[in-house]
Amino acid sequence: MLEALWEKRALLVSGKGGVGKSTLAATLAVAAARSGRQVLLVEMSPDDDGPSPLAALVGARDEGPRVTEVRPHLSFVRLAASEGHRHFLQDTLPVRWLADAALRSRALRRFLEAGPALREMGLLYQMLTLVRRTLPDGRFTHPLSIIDLPATGHALAIAALPRTVLSLMPGGPIGRTVREGLDFLQDPARTAVLLTSLPEPLPVSEALTLASELERLGLPLAAAVLNRMPEDPFTPESHAALQRLLATHGPHRGTRALARLERARAAHARLAAGLHVPLLTLPELPLTGPELVERLADVFTPREAAEPTREAAP
Amino acid sequence: MSARNLQRLLREKRVLVLCGAGGVGKTTTAAALGVAAARAGRRVLVLTIDPARRLAEVMGLPESGPEPTSIPPERLFADGPRGPGQLDVWMLDARLVFDRMVHRLAPSPEAARAIVEHRVYRFLSELVAGVQEYAATEALDGFLADARYELIVLDTPPSRHALDFLDAPGRLSRFLDERIVSLFGPEDASRGGRLWHGAQVLVGRVLDGVFGAGFAREMRGFVGAFSGLFGGIRLHTERLRARLASPDAAFLLVTSPESAALRESAFFRDTLVKRGLPFAGYVLNRSWAREDALANPEALLEHVGDDPHAEHGVAALSRLAAAEHARAESHRALLARLTEQLPTGAIAVAAPDAGAELEEFRGLVRLGDALAAG
């Protein structure tokens, strides 16, 4: 499963806010880097101010729109619409001085920042620029990008963007760019979308809705990941026996966690039944931040498998 | 003390703005606070954006409608005597709010129609950053002038950063900035002089080159039609800003124990304070901070008899109890740290994890009571 994912050019991590989307993106990036892949972890947030939660998760200093190496095999970048606009104007306009002059115009910069779909377009363009970049020997600079999409609303805006833009401006360089972006995003050979959720009733409902939205937009959903799955210490028999005891003797300490566990199981079953793709789970651990990411990466890439790689790339 | 304060907010304020990152339970908290205030006797409107379908069903909301829906008093006061309070809920429909605004601000019905039927306008809410947020502030402005409501609880649009809501109207009004408008507007020789003219020609070439001449022409048409409205929109934005900065308003930040809450919370608080907006405090949602006074699972062992499955079940429950305790401890520590960072007069309240209870309206009532009781 994972090996197939590592062969893609881009993994898009989607999900509603607060379900651990950034944690999953960071975890995948760390796991892929450990197994020797060259990974670019990408934050795609519609606003480029405020603290970057994703940078903190992998211990990257948030360097703005420049790619920075976090550790061997792992780099981080926070996309910025303005950077995408700059590349776009330079690539599109016939002469360099026109692009430079255009970028100096405050009114135009403001328009690009706030005009219809242009912010999302800028983010998409910077992403495409990074994905296409090659080394002198012709290999891709960033063979695998793992992209933390913004929370659902904006994520769908970015995914729906190509269609919207194409219906508004079918011709011209923007239309062309967006069509290329769409081809890339919809190509299951190059792109895989991962859907993140939590084992709770509401997030699962939202994940199912999001899955059908993604399908409608023609994006290749490859797997779903259920985050923070609580540990299940029961056997089916011991669970049934305990329920009988509690029914007779009333609630005891631990029943709150038990109710939560039962909700989580039901949510897991409902999500598994509602999706046509593999469903992975990540355990709930009493950790946060980079420690959590490192431990969760163990789930994807056990340390034994990771060791040789580390020796190979000290 | 914190309990009295949250009750006071519900009793005295005109506007409660709930901010928070997506997924922290902002909408549920807004609904529960609205329920609590209405049950305490006020006429309340909860203005919500995109509530989860389940919550909408619990509240008895239609998918979306042109007017607020009233919660029937027999549901609001199901467990006791009816009070004078009243609760309405409106699920914000950004398109509708915009259409109304255009019709109100346009100089003539024909001008309004020209805008509403324009191709660019039809894509506006999907395309322009901040349209939802702007629509929320626009709707809030309208309802503040409405004598039906004493308190409006505003659930802000889902976003990654709690501050999006505050910035979005600004972003929209930047799009509606006069300079941008004049880029697209008809060329006006009387203003700006040669330099400006030069900029306009340059931008014209760039836009035609980049967007294709067709789109640039359409944008010009649209901006031309829309430009009559800009003055009114700016006026609204400024008036609302003043309102939100007044002591009538209070901003609450909803966080969840799981999210990397602390850093963002501090950032949010500082930004509010810097902008002169009244920060009222934190709601730590889905908290397990309150410990139940229950017996330990080991007490069940005397009823196990010689059933090995039951014994295993009790041992498993003990493990869960230990996890539950650790969770409660960490939530308490988080609440304590949030409380430490509070400015004077602000509050930090833990909202209990309602779990499956929110499947019913009663769950909202209980959550509201728990919040108001601190």
> Do the chains contact at B158 and A152, CB–CB below 8 Å?
yes
Q: Show the tokens assigned to A250.
A: 């009333």
Residue range B293-308, pLDDT digits in tens: 889 999 999 999 999 9
Q: pLDDT-based confidence at B30, cuts 50/70/90?
A: very high
pLDDT in tens, B267-290: 778 888 888 889 999 898 888 887
pLDDT digits (tens, 9 = 90+) for A261-288: 999 999 999 999 999 999 999 999 988 8
Tokens of A246: 């509690």
Answer for the pair B202, A102: CB distance below 8 angstroms, yes or no: yes
CB < 8 Å from B in window 278-307 of A: 286, 288-289
**Average pLDDT estimate for B221-242:** 77
pLDDT at position A294: 95
Task: Please tell me the predicted confidence (pLDDT) of residue B166.
Answer: 63
CB contact under 8 A, A115 and B53: no
Mean pLDDT over the full length of chain B: 80
Distance CA A226, CA A221 (A): 15
Pick from B163, B182, B320: CB nearest A258: B320
- For residue B254, the surrounding DSSP H or E stretch is strand B249-255
Answer whether B126 sits within 8 Å of A160, measured CB to CB. yes
Which pair of structure tokens corresponds to residue A142?
A: 């960033």
What DSSP letter does each residue of B147-167 carry, written as one string? TT-SEEEEEPPP-SSTTHHHH
**Quick one: fold of B2-115+128-169+230-295+332-372?**
Rossmann fold (3.40.50)
Interchain contact, A164 vs B126, CB within 8 Å: yes
Give the residue among B50, B153, B367, B42 at the shortest CA–CA distance from A153.
B50
Beta strands in A117-220, from DSSP E residues, in sequence order? 144-148, 191-197
Task: Measure Cα distances from B46 to A10, B11, B30, B63, B152 in Å.
Answer: 41, 15, 7, 15, 6
Q: How far apart are CA A192 and CA A186, in angstroms?
A: 9
Per domain, the residue ranges of chain A are: 2-312
pLDDT digits (tens, 9 = 90+) for B67-86: 888 999 999 998 889 999 99
**Which candidate from B174, B210, B299 shows the least CB-CB separation from A173?**
B210
Q: Does A237 touch chain B (CB under 8 A)?
A: yes
Q: Which residues pair with B283 in a beta bridge?
A: B254, B349
Look at residue A53 in the predicted model and tell me its pLDDT.
79
For chain A, say whether B217 makes contact (Cβ under 8 Å). Answer: no
Scan for tokens 């003390």, then name that residue.
B1
Whether chain A has a CB inside 8 Å of the CB on B264: the answer is yes
Q: Which of residues 342-371 of B touch A (CB under 8 A)?
A: 353, 355-356
Is the model more confident about B136 or about B313? B313
Q: What is the reported pTM?
A: 0.81
CATH topology for A2-312 is: Rossmann fold (3.40.50)
Interface with chain B: mutation pick from A245, A246, A282, A288, highest number of B CBs within 10 Å: A245
Confidence of residue B65 (pLDDT cuts 50, 70, 90): confident
Q: What is the pLDDT of residues A65-101, one digit of tens each?
A: 889 999 999 999 999 888 888 888 888 877 777 778 7
Six-digit token string for A199: 């084992």
- Nearest-Å Rg of the Cα atoms of chain B is 25
B205 touches chain A (CB under 8 A): yes
Instruction: Please report the ipTM that was assigned to this predicted complex.
Output: 0.78
pLDDT score for A312: 40
Distances (CA, A) of B233 to A29, B110, B137, B172: 45, 19, 11, 10
Structure-token pair, residue A149: 């999409």
Q: Do B23 and A108 touch (CB under 8 A)?
A: no
Q: Is A212 on the interface with B (CB under 8 A)?
A: no
Residue B118 pLDDT > 60, yes or no?
Answer: yes
In this structure, what token pair is assigned to residue B216? 């640039």
Q: Does B259 touch chain A (CB under 8 A)?
A: yes
Question: CA of B212 to nearest chain A CA: how many angstroms apart?
Answer: 4
Please tell me if residue A260 touches chain B, with a CB cutoff of 8 Å.
Answer: yes
* Cβ-nearest to B317 among A242, A260, A288: A242
For position B66, what pLDDT does the model report?
A: 81
Please write the tens of the pLDDT for every residue from A200-230.
887 898 899 889 988 888 889 999 999 999 9
Q: How confident is the model at residue A48 (pLDDT cuts 50, 70, 90)?
A: low
What's residue A314's pLDDT? 37
B180 Cβ partners below 8 Å, 6+ apart?
A: A107, A110, A111, A114, A115, B174, B223
Percent of chain B predicted with pLDDT > 70: 78
HEC letters along A209-278:
HHHHHHHHCCCCEEEEEEEEECCCCCCHHHHHHHHHHHHHHCCCCCHHHHHHHHHHHHHHHHHHHHCCCC
User: CA-to-CA distance for A100 and A291, rounded, in angstroms?
Assistant: 44
| Cβ–Cβ contact A188 with B under 8 A | no
CB-CB neighbors (< 8 A) of B215 in chain A: 168-169, 172, 174
% of chain B at pLDDT higher than 90: 25
Higher pLDDT, A96 or A233: A233
DSSP B186: P
* Confidence (pLDDT) at A164: 67
3-class state of residue B244 by DSSP = helix
**SS3 call for B139:** helix
Better-predicted residue by pLDDT, A152 or A109: A109
The lowest-confidence range among A236-240, B16-20, B264-268 is B264-268
Query: Which regions of B95-171 does DSSP assign to beta strands (E)?
Result: 151-155
- Does A18 contact B123 at a Cβ distance shorter than 8 Å? no
Q: In what order do the strands lie in the sheet with A10-14?
A: A68-71, A74-78, A39-43, A144-148, A10-14, A191-197, A221-229, A279-283
A140 pLDDT above the threshold of 60? yes
Residue range A151-204, pLDDT digits in tens: 655 555 566 666 666 776 666 777 777 888 888 988 999 999 999 999 988 789
> How high is the mean pLDDT of chain A?
85
